[in-house]
Amino acid sequence: MKRTLAAINMLSGFILIITLVLVFSLDLHVNGSVYKGSMPLDSSWHYFDGETADLSDLRWSDGEAIIAAYFDGYANRSRSLCFMSRNVSFRIYLDNELIYDFEPHLSGYYGSSYGTFLHCIPIPGENHGRTLTLRYTSLDEHSAAELENMRLEFAGAYIRDTIQTGAPRFLLCVIAFFFGVVLFILGLIQQRHREELVETMSLGAISMMLSIWEFPPAGFLQILAGNPAAERAMYHIILMILPIPVVSFVATMTRTRRKTVVYTYIACCIIDLIYQLSMILLGDADYSELIHLSHVIIIIGIFLICWMIITALRHKVLTSEQKRYLLPSVVLVVVTGLVDMVRFYSGRSDDTTKISRIGLSAFVIILLFFELKRLVEIKVKSTQAEIMHRLATEDSLTGIKNRTGFNEYEQLIMKRRKGKCLFVHFDVNRLKKVNDTFGHAEGDRHIIAAATVIRDSFGEYGECFRVGGDEFFVILDGRNCDEDYEKCIERCIELQNEYNEREDPPIKLQLAYGMAEYRYDSDTGPEAAEKLADSRMYEKKRQMKADDIKLAAETVLADLQNKEDIRKKGMKLHTNVSKELKETPAN
């Protein structure tokens, strides 16, 4: 039944995943307006000198410039001018009338640019041609001023298309972030050694950072959170701190002995982060001006990673499985990182981190498979160790903990410094007589019954142990242990009597017990309390034996008294009968 339910739940999970993929992938085009479609304007703009304007790389003189576009006002029919802007502030005029003024005021750690901003500007429809004029100013001379995906379209349709375009990438980011969180938590919970803890946590941190780095551009964050400027800031901050988990992962995997070198590199990354953020917060620099520092740190990290791997290979530290997974993934990260740096400084692409993201994604996927495989192996070994420990500390006859478990718990309470506990020592009376008279099978039933009575009465409040053939210990811990002891011992006697009445054993079950207190701040160990509980148990046993002898004597005397009464009654009856016979006349 469990396997069937597991299969059903697994199928439900797959159906949910497939549904999410379809939701983010399939398109449903709905447009109820009679003025359907959109009018692209990317190639409609010109400078005043007649040259066609390239919106992806706008030129300017003294930080500003003007471009203009002509369109058919009748064809517009109340559609909006929709586009994305980056690294530029601007004003838009319609036939020399100002209709839109975009002057972002940035502060804090955002820097001098706002990232990618989505604009939807209503344009009134007319029955004649209209001229749009755009006067713009570059915000950062180190980055290109861009206007992209410019169209005359209904604002709702444009925003919907923007979300739909970035949705698959957004879904992948969510999945990557989720796996990163899972790995991070598994690193905290599952791992036993510090090195393994750092490995798994580092991989989880890389996955989370990569998911944010891969976040869809083009106004997606603006639509979700209303803050597109955070996109650019997050991108540069992650670029500064990403080398830390990557180098940490490789350092722990290769078990490098030069820990000082690794710590120094991590300290440099942190200093670089603090310096860049300080400069930006003070307004003395922008991310684009300081990105060269991040590149220098990354190049140093690449050399450090290569050195650690070469050293590990030379000293044969890596296993064959680690070589199979680690080497290809690290080579991918190094090569793709260097390629993107060349692309960045050659200015051949707008997205200068695309190849690095692919390399890091492959790095995470390859090592994620390796880590999950290793975590499964660790879990199996941990389960086996737990089973072996349970077998070593559990009494096979009664199911409660044995002498080994008692010794372990004793060591545990010796580490405490405040409070107290109670040691309760039990012994099964007349067990030898049960074994000698009725056999060891009956003796085992007697021991099992004793363990059941002790566990059912004390198990909720303390730990129960079988420390010998017919000897048991209970340790009661907590502020109310004295009250718990009184309740439990009363319950123990009740359960013992119920068992004797219900099962009617050939020899009644009887438990002798003794209790002693142990304070955690005591100068002596718990052995003194155990001995005191043992002596009190034997004192109780002697008392019980004396009570049994007294009860037996009283029973015999009562029996003898009954016999004497019967004899007297018989003699009296005999006398009466004889007297009646004498008085009766003979026939």
What are the tens digits of pLDDT across the range 86-101?
888 889 888 888 889 9
Strand partners, 151: 40, 82
Name the phi and psi angles at 122, rounded to 5: -60, 135
Taking the C-alpha atoms of 543, 549, 555 and 559 in order, what is their torsion angle to the nearest 10 degrees?
Answer: -160
pLDDT in tens, 458-474: 999 999 999 988 999 99
Tell me which residue of 236, 82, 230, 199 sits closest to 149, measured CA to CA: 82
Q: Looking at residue 565, what is its pLDDT?
A: 60
> Tell me, what amino acid is at 288?
S
The secondary element (H helix, E strand) that includes residue 552 is helix 527-583
Contact of 470 with 490, CB cutoff 8 Å: no
Contact of 137 with 89, CB cutoff 8 Å: yes
Residue with tokens 């500003």: 64
Decide the pairing of beta strands 80-86 and 462-466: unpaired
Taking residues 521-530, what's their average pLDDT? Answer: 86
Token pair for 552: 């037996």
Q: How confident is the model at residue 19 (pLDDT cuts 50, 70, 90)?
A: low
If one counts every other C-beta atom within 10 angstroms of the C-beta of residue 553, the result is: 10
CATH of domain 39-153: 2.60.120
Contact of 64 with 135, CB cutoff 8 Å: yes
Strand partners, 84: 118, 148
Lowest mean pLDDT among 165-169, 255-259, 495-499: 165-169
Helix 403-414 vs helix 354-393: crossing angle, to nearest 10: 120
pLDDT in tens, 44-68: 788 877 788 887 777 766 567 787 8
Residue 33 pLDDT exceeds 50: no
Between the alpha carbon of residue 134 and those of residues 88, 91, 99, the distances in Å are: 11, 6, 10
Contacts with 16 (C-beta within 8 Å, 6 or more apart), sequence order = none
Decide the pairing of beta strands 129-138 and 88-94: antiparallel
Name the phi and psi angles at 188, rounded to 5: -80, -35
Tell me which residue of 240, 173, 243, 250 sits closest to 208, measured CA to CA: 173
> Tell me, what amino acid is at 484?
D
Residue 423 pLDDT exceeds 60: yes
Q: Give the number of C-alpha atoms closer than 13 A to the C-alpha of residue 576, restricted to the C-beta side.
A: 6
User: How far is the C-alpha of 203 from the C-alpha of 210, rounded, in Å?
Assistant: 10
Residue 405 pLDDT exceeds 60: yes
Q: Looking at residue 484, what is its pLDDT?
A: 92
Lowest mean pLDDT among 381-395, 448-462, 512-526: 381-395
Q: Looking at residue 192, what is its pLDDT?
A: 52
Q: Looking at residue 136, what is its pLDDT?
A: 84
User: How far is the C-alpha of 184 from the C-alpha of 181, rounded, in Å?
Assistant: 5
User: How far is the C-alpha of 388 from the C-alpha of 396, rounded, in Å?
Assistant: 13
Tell me which residue of 17, 348, 353 sits closest to 178, measured CA to CA: 17
pLDDT in tens, 205-228: 888 887 777 766 555 666 666 666
Taking residues 548-553, what's their average pLDDT? Answer: 71
Q: Looking at residue 116, what is its pLDDT?
A: 79
Report the range out of 143-147, 224-228, 319-323, 490-494 with the highest average pLDDT.
Answer: 490-494
Alpha helix locations (H) across 347-480? 354-393, 403-414, 431-438, 440-458
Residue 80 pLDDT exceeds 70: yes
Q: Looking at residue 316, what is its pLDDT?
A: 84
Q: How confident is the model at residue 22 (pLDDT cuts 50, 70, 90)?
A: low
Taking the C-alpha atoms of 19, 21, 23 and 25 in order, what is their torsion angle to the nearest 10 degrees?
Answer: -150
Token pair for 399: 């199911």
Q: How confident is the model at residue 35 (pLDDT cuts 50, 70, 90)?
A: very low
Contact of 198 with 247, CB cutoff 8 Å: no
Q: Looking at residue 34, what is its pLDDT?
A: 45
Q: Looking at residue 252, what is its pLDDT?
A: 84
Contact of 47 with 53, CB cutoff 8 Å: yes
- Residue 108 DSSP code: G
Q: How confident is the model at residue 126 (pLDDT cuts 50, 70, 90)?
A: low
Q: Looking at residue 220, what is its pLDDT?
A: 62
Lowest mean pLDDT among 80-89, 314-323, 366-375, 575-584: 575-584
> Tell me, what amino acid is at 574?
H
Contacts with 585 (C-beta within 8 Å, 6 or more apart), sequence order = none
Q: What percent of the chain is predicted at pLDDT more than 90? A: 19
At residue 276, the 3 state secondary structure works out as: helix
Residue 546 burial by Cβ neighbours in a 10 Å radius (0-12, 13-18, 19+): exposed
Q: Looking at residue 62, what is its pLDDT?
A: 57
CATH of domain 403-549: 3.30.70.270
Tell me which residue of 365, 204, 324, 296 sits closest to 304, measured CA to CA: 296
Contact of 376 with 222, CB cutoff 8 Å: no
Residue 574 pLDDT exceeds 60: no
Between the alpha carbon of residue 153 and those of residues 79, 100, 222, 249, 472, the distances in Å are: 5, 17, 19, 49, 84
Per the model's pLDDT, the better-predicted residue between 142 and 30 turns out to be 142
Per the model's pLDDT, the better-predicted residue between 30 and 521 turns out to be 521
pTM over 0.85: no
Taking residues 307-323, what's their average pLDDT? Answer: 84
Contact of 429 with 511, CB cutoff 8 Å: yes
Per the model's pLDDT, the better-predicted residue between 1 and 283 turns out to be 283
User: How far is the C-alpha of 339 from the C-alpha of 336, rounded, in Å?
Assistant: 5
Q: How confident is the model at residue 123 (pLDDT cuts 50, 70, 90)?
A: confident
User: How far is the C-alpha of 460 from the C-alpha of 77, rounded, in Å?
Assistant: 78
Residue with tokens 């363990």: 451
